[in-house]
Structure 1
Amino acid sequence: MESLNLRRPFDPVAHDLDPAFRLTKFSDLKGCGCKVPQSVLGRLLGDIFTEPANEEESNFQNIFMSQSHNKAQRLGMMGLTECSVVQLKQADLCLLQSSDYLYPLIDDPYMMGMIVCASVLNDLYATGITDCDSIEMMLGLSSRITTKERDIIAPLIIRGFKDAAESAGCSVQGGSTVVNPWMLLGGIASTVISKSSIIMPYNAMVSDVLVLTKPLGTHIACTANQWMNDDREKWSKIKVVLSKEDAERGFQRAMSSMARLNKTAAMVMRQYNAHGATDVAGYGLLGAAQSLVKSQTNEVDFVIHNLPVIAKMNSVNKVVGNVFNLNQGQTPETSGGLLIVFPREDGASFAKKMEQIDGLQSWIVGVVQKGTRTARVIDKPRVIEVPMKDKSDSLW
């Protein structure tokens, strides 16, 4: 159980910075909410992956696509994740790598470093792999940041990244630092594993269920907190449904969720016959489901009925006219949960086991039906407040 250990708001003055310093001001987009739209990505990919151009590409497709030769399935797989697999010369060994880049979503440099690391590792965890051999950090420092600000902020980001990597059981082996117009943070995680240890993402079957391991609404919570502190006009619109205490608690929950590794989920999903998984990120829950369903061998659809959302954030979304597209499952998430396909009984057992280990909930959010490899959210999904009631000794 995650105890109520609230992190104090980042205080620029305590770090000898100007009181108006905001890490989020060094980019115009936030977190993972900066992805090229999926429809555009598919068009850009075109026929690139229609046929393997060489033996290496053929090996990749053999590893990931098995007996599937449908073009749409291959494109779906390529767009599914930033994770790549390289067949090594040694029998049954592969190099598995995942990468990710984020823009600052919060103003706390240390926590932002932790969140970036957790996001980089997500794609490894979506394959059921829990051990990472090494991780590199990519740090793009804004050209608009002063030398003093750089020398204070960069070490805090790096320390947060390093601490998250160590909690994952791996070490930071290097990276790259560049100057960029916007602040840009990312990394690459690598591990060598046996091909047979990968949970393939294309084995969904009719009557399976979809399980989500983290609540939605992180971007809404971070935005509400930012409005409360820096935008009186926008705060005036949401304060009718959100007190300052609610906004602060929601922000703490969002930070806690984004910084939490999906390592436990990766470990437990192996025990309960997972039929595939992906992580929820910039395309939101629906986007993750759409990418995953396109790669399925069987002709199935994913239908989402439930949306677990950080408490009070659905009310915020409503009062601003659904600008976050929460009820459509399209709100971007940063370092979100894993969306995992299980046989029905195993999905419930997985959620129960996760709560036993971490004291945190997972939710059955949808079902797998016979179909044409599409995903949708029903017209009036059930929104689940997370948590349903505040606890004096715990965030969740």
Structure 2
Amino acid sequence: MDASVTPIPDEPNLSLVQTTDFFYPLIDDPYLQGRVACANVLSDLYAMGVERCHNMLMLLGVSKEFTDEERDVVVPLLMKGFQDTAREAGCLVTGGQTVVNPWCTIGGVASSVCTMDKIIMPEGAKAGEVLILTKPLGTQIAVNAHQWIDIPERWEKISKITTVQEVKAAYRAAELSMARLNRIGAELMHKYKGSACTDVTGFGILGHADNLAQNQKERVSFVLHTLPIIKDLVKIAQAVGNMFQLLQGYSAETSGGLLITIPREGAEQFLKEIQEREGCPAWIIGDVIEGDRGATIKDDPTIVHV
């Protein structure tokens, strides 16, 4: 599961839902990096259908390689980004731990106390349902391509099929996507009777779909027919061979969207409402069928350029 669920002794109706994660910096802006880190920590609660986080702790590693000036600029911005995102989620950062470290890291612990009806266990998918994804794919490629702008031997491999402007636009789209909370998706899971969910991160869309399928009570499989991908990243991924395995479904994501199984009859309304509330689209990307608890991507899937 994406978060641990622990019954609270002497409180039979209550459970503690808790998760932790941390990151090395992957984008240039320390404020946005703080936001991304916090959004990703919270995402594991949202993937369990837990809409509200009651408490957050921050885990901060301050690089010993920082100069005094770098430390005094970067660290407050990391902390502010993390705190602002926690506040947006409706909770406060009440403590944590700061250490001096060879590398700069930022992460945290998110906790919520709730009744079991507020939790959607990732095991209830049924044949005939559909799969919804709430954020586009491609964040790893966007970040790498942006770094390659300043690495001539890397940039040479993609400069014939893209431009600096295209790469910067994809990078900006990835930054904003990674910094966006999955809170509304978690709310809508309850409203539209989502039956199972996970968030898409390091294993890629197919890796996480397969993990989720293996966890189902019923004998079902997932077939992905659509891949929504940030604009211009497909051609960049293809230009460097099979490095990212984007179209194969294994390109790692950071702070990715929720992958939700939901009854077909509520899916379109889910998409409409999340677009209205967030100003960002979600997509029906696959079907739940009878099967042996696995996931596949359909041959020649539909690519949606976002």
Please report the TM-score for the alignment, with normalisation by the length of structure 2.
0.96
Q: 2:15 aligned with 1:97, yes or no?
A: no
Mark the runs of 5 or more structure 1 residues left unpaired by the alignment.
1-79, 387-396
Q: 2:222 aligned with 1:302, yes or no?
A: yes
2-structure distance, mates of 1:113, 1:215: 21
Matches within 5 A, 1:190-269: 190-228=111-149, 230-269=150-189
Instruction: Tell me which stretches of 4 or more aligned residues in structure 1 moved more than 6 Å.
Output: none
| CA drift at 1:241 | 2.0
Q: Any conservation in 2 of the 1:258–1:336 contact (CA below 8 Å)?
A: yes
1-structure distance, mates of 2:18, 2:24: 21
In the alignment, which residue of structure 2 is the partner of 1:170? 91
Aligned counterpart in structure 2 of residue 131 of structure 1, from 52, 75, 95:
52
| CA drift at 1:318 | 0.8
One-letter code aligned to 2:41: V
Aligned counterpart in structure 2 of residue 322 of structure 1, from 242, 246, 259:
242
2-structure distance, mates of 1:313, 1:182: 29
Identity of aligned residues (%): 45
Bigger shift: 274-283 or 172-181?
172-181
| CA drift at 1:149 | 2.0
Q: Any conservation in 2 of the 1:327–1:380 contact (CA below 8 Å)?
A: no
One-letter code aligned to 1:161: F
One-letter code aligned to 2:223: V
Q: 2:267 aligned with 1:347, yes or no?
A: yes
One-letter code aligned to 2:197: A
In the alignment, which residue of structure 2 is the partner of 1:143? 64
Structure showing greater Rg: 1
| CA drift at 1:243 | 1.5
Count of aligned positions: 305
Matches within 5 A, 1:36-115: 80-81=1-2, 83-88=3-8, 89-115=10-36
State the secondary structure of the residue aligned to 2:167. helix
Please report the TM-score for the alignment, with normalisation by the length of structure 1.
0.75
2-structure distance, mates of 1:126, 1:255: 20
1-structure distance, mates of 2:282, 2:178: 15
| CA drift at 1:347 | 1.8
One-letter code aligned to 1:258: M
One-letter code aligned to 1:141: V
1-structure distance, mates of 2:248, 2:22: 25
2-structure distance, mates of 1:245, 1:109: 22
1-structure distance, mates of 2:200, 2:68: 35
State the secondary structure of the residue aligned to 1:92. strand
| CA drift at 1:365 | 0.9
1:200-257 residue CA offsets vs partner (Å, 9 max, x unmatched): 21010111111000000011111111111x2122112212222221111111100000
| CA drift at 1:120 | 0.3
1-structure distance, mates of 2:235, 2:265: 33
1-structure distance, mates of 2:171, 2:238: 18
In the alignment, which residue of structure 2 is the partner of 1:183? 104
2-structure distance, mates of 1:179, 1:382: 47
| CA drift at 1:152 | 2.0
One-letter code aligned to 2:156: S
In the alignment, which residue of structure 1 is the partner of 2:283? 363
In the alignment, which residue of structure 1 is the partner of 2:198? 278
| CA drift at 1:279 | 0.4
One-letter code aligned to 2:75: A
In the alignment, which residue of structure 2 is the partner of 1:155? 76
Greater fraction of residues in strand: 2
